[in-house]
C-alpha cells in the first residue's frame, strides 16, 4: 500500500524525536518540518498542513507552560507525540458517525460515483464484507447506461457467491432498482446494495437519475465511491455530488496504487462526510474498514486493537458460544496461549493476512513485509510453534516457559522453549518472540478487563 510510505516517513520523524536528548523548539520545528513534508507529498492540502503544524505547536506550548513536562524529557516527548497523533487523527476525522447496517432488517445501500472509480468492484466487495459477517447480502445492478455493466456485476457476484439482480432488456434504471430492492426485501435480504450508473451524456442527467433511484429505493445510506488518485481534488468532487444527491458516507478506492491517497482522505474529512472503507486492491477482500484513530495508529505502526476486536466480534455469528466464552475470559483478564492462538486463527480466516496482521500491535514489522503468502507463511509458523506445546502449556499464561528469580521476576527461559523450537522446526528466537507477543496481548487484556477496557488499553498504547 502506498500509504505505507507515508507511515514510514512519519515513523522516521517520530523516531528522530525519541533519539533527541533534549526536546526544545528547534527539535520540535525539525520534527514538524518532516511530518508536514510527508503530508504534502501525499497531497494533503497546504492549508490543512499549516493548520496541523500550528495546532501541534500551540498544544505543546500550552502543555509545557502548564508544567506537564515536570522537568522530564520523556514527558516532553510524550506530549509532542500525543499532540501529533491527535492532530493526524483530526486531519482524517470528519466528526460524523456513519450509518451501521442492522441485523434482521433490510439495509439498503446505494452506491454512486463517476465511472471508473471502482463502484462495481466495491459493491461486490461490500456484499462480501457483510456476508462474511452474517448479513444476507445482495447486489442490484441499476446501471443501464454502460453496456456490459450487468455482465460485470453478474460475473463478480457469481464469483463472490452473492445474490444479484439486473436486466438485459429493461432500460429504465429506476424500475430495475425498485424491482430488485422489492424482490430482495421480500426474500429477507439484510444488506441490499444498489449499483448505479457512473456516466451519462450530460452530468445533470446523471445527478437526476441518482435522485430518482434514491426516491424509488429509499436507501438507508448512500455511499459515494471516490478514486484516491485525484488527491485533494476529492473535496470538489464530493461537494459536487453532495449538492445533488446527499450521501452519508464515502469509500475511497485504489488506495493501494496512489501516493495521493492521504490527500483524498483528508479532503473528504473536510467535507464532514465519514469515510467507511478504503479500497486497497482489485480482489474481493481488498476492502479495509476505516476509522480515524485506528487508521492513524496503524499508519504509525502502532497496531489497531480496536479493529482487531471488532473483527473478532464480527465472527461471533459463526460460533456464538465460543465467542461468549472468550469475551468472559477477556473480562476477567485471563488469556491463555491457547486463547491467543485461537484468536489468531479466527482472524486469519477473515481475509488477507497483511490486512489483519497490521492490526495486531507488537507484531514485528518484518512479519508484515512481503506478499500475503510470505506473511501468511510467517503467521503459520507461529501456529506451528503453539502446535508443539503441551495442553498444559497452551492453557497457561506462559509461565512454564520462564525461570523466575527469588523476587518473582523472570530471569530466563526454561528447557521447554528449546523443546518447542525443535518440535516445531523453528528456532529458540522465534519461540521467544512469540511468547513476548503473547505476553503483550495478555497484559493488555489484564490491565483492561473487558471489551471497553481493551479499547482503552489500545488508546493508552497510542
Ligand atoms: P466503475 O466504473 O466505477 O464501476 O469501476 P469498476 O468497478 O469497473 O473499476 C474500475 C477499475 O478499477 C477496475 O479495473 C477495477 O479492478 C479497479 N479497481 C477498483 N477498486 C480498486 C482498488 O481499490 N484498487 C485497485 N488497484 N484497483 C481497483
pLDDT digits (tens, 9 = 90+) for 115-125: 889 999 999 99
Best substitution site from 112, 115, 118 to test ligand 1's pocket, by max atoms within 8 Å of Cβ?
118
Rounded CA-CA distance 239/292 in Å is 21
CA of residue 281 to ligand 1 center, whole Å: 8
**What average pLDDT does range 231-257 have in this prediction?**
85
By three-state DSSP, how is residue 336 classified?
Answer: coil
**C-beta 258 within 6 A of ligand 1:** no
Asked whether the predicted pLDDT for residue 361 surpasses 60, the reply is no
Overall fold of domain 107-299: Rossmann fold (3.40.50)
pLDDT at 141: 95
To 5 degrees, how large is the angle CA 264–CA 269–CA 273? 115
Reply yes or no on domain 305-461 having CATH 3.40.50.1950: no
CA of residue 31 to ligand 1 center, whole Å: 37
CA of residue 337 to ligand 1 center, whole Å: 41
pLDDT at 25: 85
Sign of dihedral through CA atoms 80, 83, 87, 88?
Answer: positive
Rounded CA-CA distance 35/33 in Å is 6
**What average pLDDT does range 169-184 have in this prediction?**
94
**What average pLDDT does range 330-353 have in this prediction?**
70
To 5 degrees, how large is the angle CA 38–CA 39–CA 44? 150
**What average pLDDT does range 157-170 have in this prediction?**
93
Which of 58-67's residues contact partners 24+ apart within 8 Å by CB, and which partners?
59/83, 59/86, 59/87, 60/28
Which has the higher per-residue pLDDT, 71 or 230?
Answer: 230
Would you say how long the chain is, in residues? 462
pLDDT single digits (tens) 189-202: 999 999 998 876 66
Asked whether the predicted pLDDT for residue 317 surpasses 70, the reply is no
**C-beta 254 within 6 A of ligand 1:** yes
**C-beta 256 within 6 A of ligand 1:** yes
Which has the higher per-residue pLDDT, 399 or 325?
Answer: 399
**C-beta 373 within 6 A of ligand 1:** no
Find the range with the poorest average confidence among 218-222, 309-313, 328-332, 438-442.
Answer: 309-313
- ipTM summary value: 0.98
Asked whether the predicted pLDDT for residue 368 surpasses 70, the reply is no
**C-beta 118 within 6 A of ligand 1:** yes
HSE at residue 51, side-chain half, CA atoms within 13 A, is: 12
Query: If you average pLDDT over every residue of the chain, what do you get?
Result: 82
Nearest residue to 336 (alpha-carbon basis) of 398, 414, 416:
398
Look up the CATH number of domain 3-92. 1.20.120.140
pLDDT at 452: 47
pLDDT at 139: 97
Asked whether the predicted pLDDT for residue 15 surpasses 60, the reply is yes
Which has the higher per-residue pLDDT, 4 or 59?
Answer: 59
Asked whether the predicted pLDDT for residue 2 surpasses 90, the reply is no
Ligand 1, closest atom to CA 114? 3
Rounded CA-CA distance 348/346 in Å is 5
pLDDT at 456: 47
CA of residue 119 to ligand 1 center, whole Å: 7
Question: Is the pTM value of this prediction over 0.90?
Answer: no
pLDDT at 73: 66
Using a pLDDT cut of 90, give the percent of the chain over it: 33
Other beta carbons within 10 Å of 419: 16
| Residues of the chain by 3-state class (helix, strand, coil), percent to 5 | 60, 10, 30
Read off the pLDDT band of 357 (50, 70, 90): low
**What average pLDDT does range 250-271 have in this prediction?**
86
CA of residue 133 to ligand 1 center, whole Å: 23
Asked whether the predicted pLDDT for residue 313 surpasses 70, the reply is no
pLDDT single digits (tens) 96-110: 889 999 999 999 999
Asked whether the predicted pLDDT for residue 453 surpasses 50, the reply is no
Domain coordinates in residue numbering, the chain: 3-92, 107-299, 305-461
Read off the pLDDT band of 95 (50, 70, 90): confident
Best substitution site from 129, 275, 282 to test ligand 1's pocket, by max atoms within 8 Å of Cβ?
282
Cβ(219)–Cβ(194) under 8 Å?
A: yes
Find the range with the poorest average confidence among 15-24, 277-286, 425-434, 446-455.
Answer: 446-455
Asked whether the predicted pLDDT for residue 307 surpasses 70, the reply is no
**Residue 425 burial class via C-beta count within 10 angstroms: exposed 0-12, middle 13-18, buried 19 and up:** exposed
CA of residue 444 to ligand 1 center, whole Å: 39
Which has the higher per-residue pLDDT, 181 or 229?
Answer: 181
Asked whether the predicted pLDDT for residue 421 surpasses 80, the reply is yes
Amino acid at each position: 500500500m502506498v500509504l505505507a510510505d507515508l507511515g514510514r516517513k512519519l515513523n522516521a520523524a517520530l523516531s528522530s524525536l525519541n533519539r533527541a536528548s533534549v526536546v526544545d523548539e528547534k527539535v520540535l520545528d525539525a520534527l514538524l518540518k518532516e511530518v508536514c513534508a510527508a503530508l504534502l507529498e501525499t497531497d494533503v492540502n497546504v492549508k490543512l498542513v499549516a493548520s496541523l503544524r500550528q495546532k501541534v505547536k500551540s498544544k505543546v506550548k500550552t502543555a509545557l507552560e502548564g508544567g506537564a513536562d515536570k522537568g522530564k524529557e520523556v514527558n516532553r516527548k510524550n506530549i509532542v507525540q500525543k499532540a501529533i497523533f491527535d492532530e493526524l487523527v483530526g486531519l482524517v476525522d470528519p466528526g460524523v458517525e456513519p450509518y451501521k447496517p442492522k441485523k434482521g432488517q433490510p439495509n439498503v445501500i446505494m452506491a454512486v460515483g463517476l465511472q471508473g472509480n471502482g463502484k462495481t468492484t466495491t459493491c461486490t466487495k461490500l456484499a462480501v464484507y457483510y456476508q462474511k459477517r452474517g448479513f444476507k447480502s445482495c447486489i442490484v445492478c441499476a446501471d443501464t447506461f454502460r453496456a456490459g455493466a450487468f455482465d460485470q456485476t453478474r460475473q463478480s457476484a457469481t464469483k463472490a457467491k452473492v445474490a444479484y439482480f439486473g436486466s438485459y432488456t429493461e432500460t429504465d434504471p429506476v424500475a430495475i432498482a425498485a424491482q430488485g430492492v422489492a424482490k430482495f426485501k421480500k426474500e429477507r435480504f439484510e444488506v441490499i446494495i444498489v449499483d448505479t450508473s457512473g456516466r451519462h451524456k450530460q452530468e445533470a442527467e446523471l445527478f437526476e437519475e441518482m435522485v430518482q433511484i434514491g426516491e424509488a429505493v429509499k436507501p438507508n445510506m448512500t455511499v459515494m465511491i471516490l478514486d484516491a488518485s485525484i488527491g485533494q481534488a476529492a473535496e470538489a468532487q464530493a461537494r459536487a455530488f453532495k449538492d445533488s444527491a446527499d450521501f452519508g458516507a464515502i469509500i475511497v478506492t485504489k488506495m493501494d496504487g496512489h501516493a495521493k491517497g492521504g490527500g483524498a482522505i483528508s479532503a473528504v474529512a473536510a467535507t464532514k462526510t465519514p469515510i467507511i472503507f478504503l479500497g486497497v486492491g482489485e480482489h474481493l477482500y481488498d476492502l479495509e474498514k476505516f476509522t480515524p484513530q485506528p487508521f492513524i495508529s496503524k499508519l504509525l505502526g502502532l497496531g489497531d486493537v480496536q479493529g482487531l476486536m471488532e473483527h473478532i466480534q464480527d465472527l461471533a455469528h459463526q460460533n456464538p458460544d465460543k465467542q461468549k466464552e472468550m469475551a468472559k475470559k477477556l473480562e476477567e483478564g485471563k488469556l491463555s496461549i491457547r486463547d491467543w492462538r485461537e484468536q489468531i486463527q479466527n482472524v486469519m480466516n477473515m481475509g488477507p493476512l497483511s490486512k489483519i496482521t497490521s492490526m495486531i500491535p507488537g507484531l514485528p514489522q518484518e512479519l508484515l513485509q512481503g506478499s500475503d503468502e510470505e506473511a501468511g507463511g510467517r503467521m503459520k509458523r507461529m501456529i506451528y510453534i503453539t502446535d508443539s506445546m503441551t495442553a498444559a502449556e497452551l492453557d497457561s499464561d506462559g509461565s512454564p516457559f520462564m525461570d523466575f528469580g527469588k523476587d518473582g521476576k523472570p530471569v530466563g527461559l526454561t528447557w521447554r522453549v528449546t523443546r518447542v523450537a525443535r518440535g516445531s522446526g523453528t528456532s529458540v528466537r522465534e519461540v521467544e518472540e512469540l511468547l513476548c507477543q503473547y505476553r503483550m496481548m495478555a497484559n493488555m487484556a489484564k490491565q483492561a478487563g473487558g471489551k471497553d477496557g481493551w479499547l482503552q488499553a489500545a488508546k493508552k498504547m497510542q
